[in-house]
Chain A
Amino acid sequence: MILINCPNCGPRNSAEFAYFGETKPRPDANETDLAEWSHYLYMKRNPAGWTSEHWYHREGCRKFLVAERHTVTNEIRSTGTPGAGHGG
């Protein structure tokens, strides 16, 4: 079990959340080319270490959050609201 500190609801079991994967900047659809867009769409960093990712609190406040999680130990060192300096 991972304990996720939801910015709205407080610490909750990760089973209440849906995992949405690593955060990454979305290219501007009007400026981008095919290579950059398909890279954004499909390729993953998939690091073994600290990563920033989106979770959705589907059985709670039904809002997205951004978590800094270590993918080897599953430790979460911070959570925050998307767009508030915590990634896109």
Chain B
Amino acid sequence: MKGRAGNGHGPPVQRYSALSLVRHGLTKGDWPKVWRTHELERSYDVVVIGAGVHGLATAYYLAANHGARRVAVVDKGYVGGGGSGRNTAIVRSNYLTPEGVRFYDRSVRLYQSLAADLNFNIMFAQRGHLTLAHNDGSIRTMRWRAEVNKLEGIDSEVIGPDEIKKLVPFMDTSAHTRYPILGALYHPPGGIVRHDAVNWGYARAADALGVQIHQNTEVLGISVKSGRVTGVTTSQGEISAPTVINCTAGWASLIADMAGVSLPIITHPLQAAVTEPVKMFLEAVVVSGSLHVYVSQTDRGELVFGASTDPYASYSMRGSLEFTEELASHVLELIPSIAKMRVLRQWSGLCDITPDFSPVMGVTPVDGFLVDVGWGTYGFKAGPAAGEAMAELAATGKTPALIAAFDLARFPEGRLVGERGAAAVGH
């Protein structure tokens, strides 16, 4: 049956609750699929490229906030298979520029109510976020960030080694290390989230509102006629659509190229690793720019480590030994007591880095072709706010004030939004 978008195959989404858990426990029945599969239709109102958190959130808010029903999300792989499933799941809003702070604060607020909004436990734990300073330059940037944060109403302050020791007792805050800890930017609302749950939660909620998710559907070309986008060619067939949104992060340049749009983006791999699980001992998220590392402990007890991006552009997602060696030496400088812990696995994702470390959101020289790209290492935490804003832009044709500063035209017009000082580690 070829229905309109929204009349998919399979049973409708079932609401999760304690009652449904008990019922399924007693009947041992299969849980329904979290989202449905559909035949690719010939036309949609909006085609979103990329089924990561940005693409799924955009589709969800298009349906939830603007009543759009003929929306397709296409992805060459699977839901959350790119950066959305490879990041280290840190959420925070203690950025450097007022534009950045306001934007990420909106995202933190959306994350706070997201589990209830999506009826899906995303395990958002606001455990506090510490960015360590090992030199005077870092202290200066942190004071600057703390003042900008406070002006925007964000809980953020610079604290000394004694207070850091109280928050993270296992950390070596002595003055005898190679890079002694001088202080930290402390951001209590920061924390971690279960990234797969966010992807699946958005996919499930979008599906329930009639959005079609097409996995294994690679975009091969974008049709543009007299400066307007008219549709996309995919590995599963042609689609006509007046609005196409590029949410493909590390692959954003390749997709934009198909529409003849140039982007100021370089794709760098970023590696991460996780240890075997141990009893909970690390409450806060700890970041050290000088030591190029960030670490948090998941609810399962694993330590998740991230580092700086690989030092050259690449689309390769192979891990390297240098990464693990450097990571281990830097982490042990901070927390010597975990020397006997073993790394379970390491992986790599692709970051779409811009010259000013701020994203590129909004319209392009091609009418109807919108971009939500250039996220670099900040993409996952931005997903909800970016999706909400991009949905508003796609539905109303007006760029929301929250993202106006992040337009593509800022580069030729010289209005860069320098956010490098708020990067977790030096990239």
On A, residues with C-beta under 8 Å from B are: 1-2, 14-15, 18-19, 21-22, 34-35, 38-39, 41-48, 51, 53, 71-74
**Knowing that A1-B321, A19-B312, A46-B253 are A-B contacts, what are 4 other residue pairs whose CB atoms are under 8 Å apart, sorted by A's residue number?**
A14-B312, A21-B313, A44-B253, A44-B264
CA distance A39 to B263 in the complex (A): 9
Q: Is the CB of B313 within 8 A of A19?
A: yes
* Minimum distance in angstroms from B372 CB to a CB of chain A: 17
In the complex, per-residue mask of B42-76: 1 if CB is within 8 Å of any chain A CB, else 0: 00000000000000000000000000000000000
**Cβ-neighbour of B313 out of A1, A34, A43, A71 (below 8 A):** A71
Offer 9 A-B interface pairs, CB within 8 angstroms, sorted by A: A1-B321, A14-B312, A15-B322, A21-B313, A35-B412, A43-B262, A44-B265, A48-B315, A72-B314
Q: Is the CB of B314 within 8 A of A42?
A: no
B320 at the interface (CB under 8 A from A): yes
Interface set, chain B 348-396, CB cutoff 8 A to A: 355
Considering residues A1, A15, A41, A43, which has the most beta carbons from chain B within 10 angstroms of its beta carbon?
A: A43
Q: Is the CB of B267 within 8 A of A46?
A: yes
Q: Is the CB of B322 within 8 A of A1?
A: yes
**Cβ-neighbour of B263 out of A18, A22, A43, A74 (below 8 A):** A43
B120 at the interface (CB under 8 A from A): no
**Cβ-neighbour of B264 out of A34, A42, A53 (below 8 A):** A42
* Minimum distance in angstroms from A73 CB to a CB of chain B: 7
On B, residues with C-beta under 8 Å from A are: 251, 253-254, 262-267, 311-316, 320-322, 355, 411-412, 414
CA distance A48 to B357 in the complex (A): 21
Q: Cβ of B251: which chain A residues have Cβ within 8 Å of it?
A: 48
Q: Is the CB of A71 within 8 A of B322?
A: no
* Minimum distance in angstroms from B271 CB to a CB of chain A: 13
Given contacts A34-B412, A38-B411, contact A1 B262 (CB under 8 A): no
Q: Is the CB of B316 within 8 A of A71?
A: yes
A-B contact count (CB 8 A): 62
Q: Cβ of B312: which chain A residues have Cβ within 8 Å of it?
A: 2, 14, 19
Does more than half of chain B's interface fall in helix, strand or loop, or is it mixed?
A: loop
CA distance A24 to B262 in the complex (A): 14
CA distance A39 to B311 in the complex (A): 23
Considering residues A39, A44, A46, A73, which has the most beta carbons from chain B within 10 angstroms of its beta carbon?
A: A46
**Cβ-neighbour of A44 out of B266, B412, B414 (below 8 A):** B266
Q: Is the CB of B315 within 8 A of A71?
A: yes
Given contacts A42-B264, A48-B254, contact A74 B313 (CB under 8 A): no
Q: Cβ of B267: which chain A residues have Cβ within 8 Å of it?
A: 46, 71
CA distance A71 to B269 in the complex (A): 11
* Minimum distance in angstroms from B406 CB to a CB of chain A: 14
Nearest CB in chain A to that of B311: its residue: A19
* Minimum distance in angstroms from B414 CB to a CB of chain A: 8
Nearest CB in chain B to that of A46: its residue: B253
Given contacts A15-B322, A71-B314, contact A21 B264 (CB under 8 A): no
Q: Cβ of B266: which chain A residues have Cβ within 8 Å of it?
A: 21, 44, 46
* Minimum distance in angstroms from A86 CB to a CB of chain B: 17
Q: Cβ of B314: which chain A residues have Cβ within 8 Å of it?
A: 71-72, 74
Considering residues B251, B321, B412, which has the most beta carbons from chain A within 10 angstroms of its beta carbon?
A: B412
Given contacts A38-B412, A45-B253, contact A73 B264 (CB under 8 A): no
CA distance A22 to B253 in the complex (A): 14
Q: Cβ of A35: which chain B residues have Cβ within 8 Å of it?
A: 412
Closest 3 CB pairs of A and B: A46-B253, A19-B312, A42-B264
Q: Is the CB of A42 within 8 A of B315?
A: no
Q: Cβ of B262: which chain A residues have Cβ within 8 Å of it?
A: 39, 43-44
* Minimum distance in angstroms from B231 CB to a CB of chain A: 23
Q: Cβ of A21: which chain B residues have Cβ within 8 Å of it?
A: 266, 313
Q: Is the CB of B411 within 8 A of A42?
A: yes
* Minimum distance in angstroms from A77 CB to a CB of chain B: 15
Q: Is the CB of B253 within 8 A of A74?
A: no
CA distance A81 to B186 in the complex (A): 48
Nearest CB in chain B to that of A14: its residue: B312
Q: Is the CB of A73 within 8 A of B316?
A: yes
Q: Cβ of B311: which chain A residues have Cβ within 8 Å of it?
A: 14, 18-19
Nearest CB in chain B to that of A2: its residue: B312
CA distance A42 to B414 in the complex (A): 10
Nearest CB in chain A to that of B254: its residue: A48
